[in-house]
Structure 1
Amino acid sequence: MGGNSAGRAYIGSFTSAGGHGVTAAAVDRDTGALTVLGSTDAVRDPSFLAVGRAPVTGAQVLYAVSETPDGAVAVFATDGDGAPRLMGSPQPVGGDGPTHLALAGDHLVTANYGSGSVTVLPVGGDGSPGAATGVLRHEGSGPDPERQEGPHAHQVLPDPSGGWVLGVDLGTDSVCVYALDPRTGEPRPHARTAMRPGTGPRHLAFHPSGRHVYVLHELEPTVTVCRWDPAAGLLDPVGETVVIPDAADGGDGPRVYPSEIVVADDGRFLWTANRGHDSISVLTLDETAEKPVLAATVGCGGRWPRDLTLDPSGQWLYAANERSGDVSWFAVDAETGIPAYAGSIEVPSASCVVFG
């Protein structure tokens, strides 16, 4: 984060639902508070963002998906005091509805929900993405006829070793592992790990040790714990834990759609955002990292928390509340991991928060 007393946060939102696009905000490190600096709607529905650096100049850049039927990715310069500045034109991803993107070496990878595919694009010297070098479509379906009629890739994430990219597919109840061709960047299927049918895996997060993965499910409020072998590029599921009280008993409340999972830098806690329940769950982890225990749930500060992000210091947790149109921040108790509401700002149709 730049500056002496304040850093920067970037907030994505759905322009088709009244959002402002990409919003830049100053971050007060002492209080966690955000102050809006400016926004740009130069890209339609930039629902997910990622911060990177231009390979040649080293300048910080901001990547955004355009979650539209003719999906694309865009890059913004962040060197000004206000809204990020669009660099060039958005680059097509050859897929429908990209919901997530991540940097993997000198390539950008997107998860395309609508078409159930992942796309790899090279990154140029100034940070701009080039034409796609590979599009890999998943195959299969799941038992939910409305949500799992076909593949729906929802997240892509490189593993900490840098040797693999993992893709989470809600439609096929699976996590795929790919290797990127070192020359072309083309994604090569390596392995596929099945989750419990009908759970609808949405996002995953790594334990800081790099040896465990936590897969959060959208269609059932549970987390699957997996061992991760970075040498072999293989996931091994070892257990499942509920993230909502009474969820194991079926419950009588509204249906819950978990959205995001975050693991503490010291590996002692993990948090999930839960749409429908409008909450943040706190789970504790022991030294094995394999037995999360649900410790508490707290309100998310709004409605329909689509994203949850830990700031670089690990002291503040931010929830992007899509339907109430705000971003809330919470002070994380270092002993219990329980977040305490500390404030919020208005951001219509907020969908994600990242830090620069």
Structure 2
Amino acid sequence: MAGHVYIGSFTSAGGRGLTTAAVDPDTGALTALGDNADVPDPSFLATSPDGGTLYTVSEREPEGAAAAFSLADPAAPKLLGAPVPVHAGAPTHLTVHRGHLLTANYAEPGSVSVLAIEADGSLGGLLSLLEHEGDGPNPERQQGPHAHQVLSDPTGRWAVSVDLGTDSVRVCELDPASGELEIERELGLRSGIGPRHLTFHPAGRHAYVMNELESVVTVCSWDPERGSLRPLSETRVLPQGAEGENYPSELVVSHDGRFAWAANRGHNSIAVLAIHDDGERLELLETVGCGGDWPRHLTLDPSGTRLYAANERSGDVTWFDVDPAGGIPKQAGSLDVPAASCVLFA
């Protein structure tokens, strides 16, 4: 039986909004079923824990929004009410955390919004807005805070926000009753590195920060009891001698914790990394072509045997069969999706 994939895109750049595609369980091939342009610029997607609701950002300035879609019919998502303002600009990422929807808002000042989720999965109003403070040395990209991601840690207790503008990761705790978000700890990374996204090792004791302004991953230890990160090392995601501008975007870790893959925008490649020492060390094995231009997002299918890349500028989603022994992806197909930005398996 075929499953479903949801693809976000930038309508302001010619995208079709939210695209629904069927997935062939044997080959991983995608077949487009339809598009929904009810929400402008749905650049990032997430689902509710029960899989019944799809949430999207609307990455607009000066006022961004978030929206909810019912997946009662997974082949035809249905908008639940009008998009809800997040009271900040350019929300780039979102997650469901402790019964609330959190969005990371990139526009200065970078911030995290907390929205209510109603019993039917639809969105209520804004409960709180946590504005970040600080800046970095890059005058073009770090003139102020730029929250780029917010996610739950593996225990579900902590909300972790990654800020490209302040070279830092904030660990926060949410009061489920009030929706107030409070910073518990802030990890400062190397100045000018530009952290974009973070992902956890499946064992739950290490985290990896993908940095956009330098092509390196920062390996951190993670203490889930205290909610604290500690940087351990950095690993480059480009081969020696690589030239030209490069802005890494996404990093995903295999379900068994043996490999990680990083998307390189500019180099237009996927870096293949081996994970050693129970998550403590990364090693760049090689890079392979992403099959398009400007890979903004990567994701694994539920089986962990296929990797999907959303190539924004070439307007396609490419998929790869992953060698289980060596972790090397081999391109197996592609689907035209103008201005593609995110791929989500529900």
Query: TM-score band (shorter)?
Result: over 0.9
Which of residues 267, 278, 283 is equivalent to 1:293? 283
Whole-angstrom distance in 1 between the partners of 2:223 and 2:268: 34
**2:227 corresponds to 1:233:** yes
Aligned with residue 311 of structure 1, among 292, 295, 301 = 301
The count of aligned residue pairs is 344
Normalised by the length of structure 2, the TM-score is 0.98
Match of 2:60 in 1: 68
2:123 is paired with a residue of what secondary structure? coil
Q: Given the alignment of the two structures, is residue 178 of structure 1 paired with residue 168 of structure 2, yes or no?
A: no
Given that 1:22 and 1:83 are in contact with CA atoms closer than 8 Å, whether structure 2 keeps it comes out as no
Q: Which residue of 1 aligns with 2:256?
A: 266
Instruction: For residue 123 of structure 1, report the CA deviation from its aligned partner.
Output: 1.0
1:106 is aligned to 99
Q: 1:91, CA displacement in angstroms?
A: 0.7
Say which SS state the counterpart of residue 288 (structure 1) adopts. helix
Which residue identity is paired with 1:296? E
Q: CA deviation at 1:324?
A: 0.2
Q: Which amino acid aligns with 2:68?
A: V
Mapping of residues 1-356 of structure 1, within 5 Å = 5-53=1-49, 60-69=52-61, 70-80=63-73, 82-115=75-108, 116-246=110-240, 251=241, 253-356=243-346
The worse-fitting range, judged by mean Cα deviation, of 75-84 and 229-238 is 75-84
Runs of 5+ unmatched residues, structure 1:
none
Q: Report deviation, 1:110.
A: 0.4
Deviation at 1:81, TM superposition (A): 6.0
C-alpha RMSD of the superposition? 1.1
Aligned mates of 1:252, 1:333 — CA distance in 2: 25
Runs of 4+ in 1 over 3 A off after TM superposition: none
Q: Distance in 1 between matches of 2:72 and 2:123?
A: 18
| SS class of match (1:42) | coil
* 1:172-203, Cα deviation, whole Å (9 max, x unpaired): 00000100013112110111001111110000
1:285–1:293 CA contact under 8 A, matched in 2: yes
**Native 8 Å contact 1:37 1:81 kept in 2:** no
Q: Which TM-score applies when normalising by structure 1?
A: 0.95
Contact 1:321 1:351 survives alignment (8 Å) = yes
- Asked if the contact 2:4/2:75 (under 8 Å) is kept, the reply is no
How far apart in 2 are the matches of 1:232 and 1:68? 35
- TM-aligned CA deviation for residue 220 of structure 1: 0.5
Do 2:40 and 2:59's aligned partners in 1 also have CA atoms closer than 8 Å? yes
2:2 maps to a residue whose letter is A
Deviation at 1:79, TM superposition (A): 2.6
SS at match of 1:319: strand
Gaps of 5+ in 2: none
CA separation in 1, counterparts of 2:164 and 2:258?
A: 27
